[in-house]
Chain A
């Protein structure tokens, strides 16, 4: 027994350096190194990649994903998940398109759509927090419900929007900068401040790490859980508005499956799927990886079916690295 321990100790010192290197990689580096690596590879293999036009394009296209992922980060840090985020995109796109079609002024239409998102989040959060049903199940059901709702509202066919001011959100520029990129930056900064600098942010981490300890510290766990889903769904509604604006259409098919990209981005960014850990900066890196990957594969003319396989493999890799990290910190 004694011998075994000493042996183990010597083994530890031997591999100490490589362990530290691995630890650094897992702790801080995966996402950043991933972004840098992808950036370099794409620049080499495709001459179209490293151009101002293309990079602006990538950023603009990533806005919807990024805004969704910021909301999803809060939810995943509490140990939850929102599988209905993609359907929320469709529903909010359909809602704003209908409101505009009915002649509601744009600012009101935007506010009402975001409020509708908040209501959806309130329902999800309420069920998760008070009924102890796993968020996976609740949001899986909500995904189907909302998708159905989007089809019911539109009766199956997309609603075309001809409002010029509305198109500005998704396609316009302020100075040289596309509006979606501005929105992306604003949402990210607000998300960052909320998570890292406020009481609410601390509570989100505490609830995800150890719900019971959080409760015993006087934290209103139910309120925090409701809060992240309301926040997440409201932000997602904004992303839905943005997508509808870019497409000039409220389509019941918009955003389908995008929740998986958002979850993947969050996890790639180092957020722990079991809760308690994660950062907005990490999520931004995750979004960058997925967006560059999407763009790069398109530039390289990889067929879209093959793209799915590659993206799936990248997500699997990320979750695996995440689990490695879990094991290391547990040990």
Chain B
């Protein structure tokens, strides 16, 4: 057996005391493709960032062709030939293909002028070697996403990449484009390039990878030759398999009438055939991978995104929601997944953040009642256990958990009929999580219909009365209380099937 191209031994990574990676090992052979799989948050991205030098490892060894590498950084990684194609493509649309390939390393002639002739012919050579049929003089902006991705690969190859990391390369490609990309991966392998292939799409792993490494919660689980795995369900089984802690405090609430119902919602290219209903007091979990269309459904319900087709009914009455304002007046609340970007007004106080959606309730005429505002903010501060020196404090000084509670308070004051929660506990510490879960349950008790989108399988299992699972823009399955378990959810999320009990 030849020497491995790259070896990772017991890599750990801590972020201010929290372990994101716990002793992960991986061996990469020349000319082979190595699959890297795991749920969201399993540690794949962290591992990639350590490999490309974006993060420094806390401990462990990186061995490149037999030599131990210390102090990895982006420059060194590039010199060694380790390149990564990220999901967000790094292409300058206003430059030509050739310029993009040689970005920052354009061949020059006298006086530092760019040698266009050489650049174009070199670019042509790289493209032909990968059998990519594109004219190097074409502007990158005219290319499809799949073609841009190929340009990035060509760029890496032109810089003598011998380890190519591909992070979810097919997530925005069509089936045909995926096929072209996969055959390109085959070609790279035959040229001796080692590929680390990260994907949520199991068939692709089986198609191009020789071996696969499974991560779960930052822990190394197993490395297996692909031909020893029995199929998608088997692989998924290895990725989940965990015990549940019960800090959700889920209590059964008697269900009332249907509050919100959707019929065949469709948004071209994002989701289709979305039909579900939620009763008062019910918590509907919405599971699925990031990018499966979960958030977009919430946005459509809240009037942020328009629909191509479909009906939304509230209390059995058809509603036409075209803006968040109309959604709110129809009794819908929405806690978004990214509180800093779409939730908080960071320069303002905790109180102003709590009252922002509720000023009409707190005003007589045009003037805001300072007294009412303070009273209600204080009430919810206590109710949700928001830890802040005072309500006039800038909200940016609070911890993530307390910020999230303030946003939850904002919507609780509205007493909405429907509350949509998108990743309600992202970046929230355990203590605050318990507070948030108990408030969600409290709202359900009061008869609110709750739609909870989450990537945390535990959260879905622990909180939901019913679960719908999204896969590539469609509902791949609905689970009622007895069938809600991690295996079923993950299987459906990856496009697999449910194990019948």
Question: Does B associate with A?
Answer: yes
Interface residue ranges, A against B (CB under 8 Å): 1, 5, 197-200, 202-203, 205-206, 209-210, 212-220, 272, 276-277, 329
B346 at the binding interface (Cβ < 8 Å): yes
Contact status B304-A216, CB under 8 Å: yes
Which stretch of B167-175, B208-216, B362-370, B490-498 is in the interface? B362-370
CA distance A308 to B403 in the complex (A): 46
Q: A202-B359, A215-B324 are in contact. Are A210 and B344 (CB under 8 A)?
A: yes
Contact status A209-B346, CB under 8 Å: yes
Contact status A202-B343, CB under 8 Å: no
Contact status B324-A209, CB under 8 Å: no
Which stretch of B198-206, B334-342, B431-439 is in the interface? B334-342
Contact status B396-A199, CB under 8 Å: no
The residues of B that contact A202 with a CB separation of less than 8 Å are 352, 355-356, 359, 368
Contact status B356-A206, CB under 8 Å: yes
Contact status A212-B396, CB under 8 Å: no
Q: Knowing that A5-B16, A217-B357 are A-B contacts, what are 19 other residue pairs whose CB atoms are under 8 Å apart, sorted by A's residue number?
A: A199-B360, A199-B367, A200-B366, A202-B352, A202-B368, A206-B352, A209-B345, A209-B347, A210-B345, A213-B341, A213-B345, A214-B345, A214-B356, A216-B304, A216-B334, A216-B343, A218-B329, A219-B325, A276-B348
Q: A216-B302, A217-B324, A217-B357 are in contact. Are A205 and B348 (CB under 8 A)?
A: yes
The residues of A that contact B359 with a CB separation of less than 8 Å are 199, 202-203
The residues of A that contact B157 with a CB separation of less than 8 Å are none
Contact status B56-A212, CB under 8 Å: no
Q: Offer 25 A-B interface pairs, CB within 8 angstroms, sorted by A.
A: A198-B366, A199-B359, A199-B360, A199-B363, A199-B367, A199-B368, A205-B347, A205-B348, A205-B352, A210-B341, A210-B346, A213-B343, A213-B344, A213-B356, A215-B324, A216-B324, A216-B342, A217-B324, A217-B356, A217-B410, A218-B357, A220-B325, A276-B345, A276-B346, A276-B348
B29 at the binding interface (Cβ < 8 Å): no
Contact status A1-B357, CB under 8 Å: no
Chain A residue nearest to B302 (CB atoms) is A216
Q: A197-B367, A206-B356, A276-B347 are in contact. Are A216 and B58 (CB under 8 A)?
A: no
Beta-carbon contacts under 8 Å, B360-413 to A: 360, 363, 366-368, 370, 394, 396, 410
Interface residue ranges, B against A (CB under 8 Å): 16, 56, 58, 302, 304, 323-325, 327-329, 334, 336, 341-348, 352, 355-357, 359-360, 363, 366-368, 370, 394, 396, 410
CB proximity of B253 to chain A, nearest CB, Å: 27
The residues of A that contact B396 with a CB separation of less than 8 Å are 329
CB proximity of B239 to chain A, nearest CB, Å: 29
Contact status A198-B367, CB under 8 Å: yes
CB proximity of A195 to chain B, nearest CB, Å: 11
Contact status A218-B325, CB under 8 Å: yes
Q: A197-B368, A198-B368, A200-B366 are in contact. Are A216 and B347 (CB under 8 A)?
A: no
Task: Name the one of B328, B347, B355 contacting A218, with C-beta atoms under 8 angstroms.
Answer: B328
CA distance A329 to B396 in the complex (A): 8
- 9 closest residue pairs by CB, A with B: A209-B345, A217-B357, A218-B328, A276-B347, A218-B325, A199-B359, A217-B356, A198-B366, A212-B342
The residues of A that contact B341 with a CB separation of less than 8 Å are 210, 212-213
Chain A residue nearest to B341 (CB atoms) is A212
Secondary structure of the A side of the interface?
A: helix
Chain A residue nearest to B326 (CB atoms) is A218
Chain B residue nearest to A198 (CB atoms) is B366
CB proximity of B228 to chain A, nearest CB, Å: 38
- For B329, B342, B347, B348, the residue with the greatest tally of chain A CB atoms inside 10 Å of its CB is B347
CA distance A277 to B58 in the complex (A): 40
Chain A residue nearest to B343 (CB atoms) is A213
- For A5, A210, A216, A329, the residue with the greatest tally of chain B CB atoms inside 10 Å of its CB is A216
The residues of B that contact A213 with a CB separation of less than 8 Å are 341-345, 356
Contact status A209-B348, CB under 8 Å: yes
CB proximity of B366 to chain A, nearest CB, Å: 5
CB proximity of A246 to chain B, nearest CB, Å: 33
The residues of B that contact A276 with a CB separation of less than 8 Å are 345-348
CA distance A213 to B352 in the complex (A): 13
CA distance A5 to B346 in the complex (A): 26
The residues of B that contact A272 with a CB separation of less than 8 Å are 347
CB proximity of B367 to chain A, nearest CB, Å: 5
Contact status A1-B56, CB under 8 Å: yes
CB proximity of A190 to chain B, nearest CB, Å: 12
The residues of B that contact A217 with a CB separation of less than 8 Å are 324, 328, 356-357, 410
CA distance A206 to B410 in the complex (A): 14
The residues of A that contact B367 with a CB separation of less than 8 Å are 197-199
Chain A residue nearest to B360 (CB atoms) is A199
The residues of A that contact B363 with a CB separation of less than 8 Å are 198-199
The residues of B that contact A199 with a CB separation of less than 8 Å are 359-360, 363, 366-368
The residues of A that contact B58 with a CB separation of less than 8 Å are 1
CB proximity of A150 to chain B, nearest CB, Å: 34
The residues of A that contact B347 with a CB separation of less than 8 Å are 205, 209, 272, 276-277, 329
The residues of A that contact B360 with a CB separation of less than 8 Å are 199
The residues of A that contact B304 with a CB separation of less than 8 Å are 215-216
- For A200, A209, A217, the residue with the greatest tally of chain B CB atoms inside 10 Å of its CB is A217
CA distance A206 to B346 in the complex (A): 9
CB proximity of A72 to chain B, nearest CB, Å: 19
Chain B residue nearest to A197 (CB atoms) is B367
Chain B residue nearest to A212 (CB atoms) is B342
CA distance A5 to B16 in the complex (A): 9
The residues of B that contact A215 with a CB separation of less than 8 Å are 304, 323-324
- For B58, B302, B341, B357, the residue with the greatest tally of chain A CB atoms inside 10 Å of its CB is B357
The residues of A that contact B336 with a CB separation of less than 8 Å are 216
The residues of B that contact A216 with a CB separation of less than 8 Å are 302, 304, 324, 334, 336, 342-343
Chain A residue nearest to B355 (CB atoms) is A202
The residues of B that contact A203 with a CB separation of less than 8 Å are 359
The residues of A that contact B324 with a CB separation of less than 8 Å are 215-218
CA distance A210 to B347 in the complex (A): 9
The residues of B that contact A212 with a CB separation of less than 8 Å are 341-342
CB proximity of A44 to chain B, nearest CB, Å: 38
Chain A residue nearest to B358 (CB atoms) is A217
CB proximity of A274 to chain B, nearest CB, Å: 9
CA distance A199 to B359 in the complex (A): 6
The residues of B that contact A198 with a CB separation of less than 8 Å are 363, 366-368
CB proximity of A226 to chain B, nearest CB, Å: 15
Task: Name the one of B328, B348, B368, B394 contacting A206, with C-beta atoms under 8 angstroms.
Answer: B348
CA distance A216 to B342 in the complex (A): 7
CA distance A202 to B368 in the complex (A): 9
CA distance A200 to B359 in the complex (A): 10
The residues of A that contact B325 with a CB separation of less than 8 Å are 218-220
CB proximity of B267 to chain A, nearest CB, Å: 18
CA distance A206 to B328 in the complex (A): 17
CB proximity of B437 to chain A, nearest CB, Å: 23
Chain B residue nearest to A329 (CB atoms) is B396
Chain A residue nearest to B362 (CB atoms) is A199
CA distance A205 to B394 in the complex (A): 13
The residues of A that contact B334 with a CB separation of less than 8 Å are 216
CB proximity of A208 to chain B, nearest CB, Å: 8
CB proximity of B256 to chain A, nearest CB, Å: 25
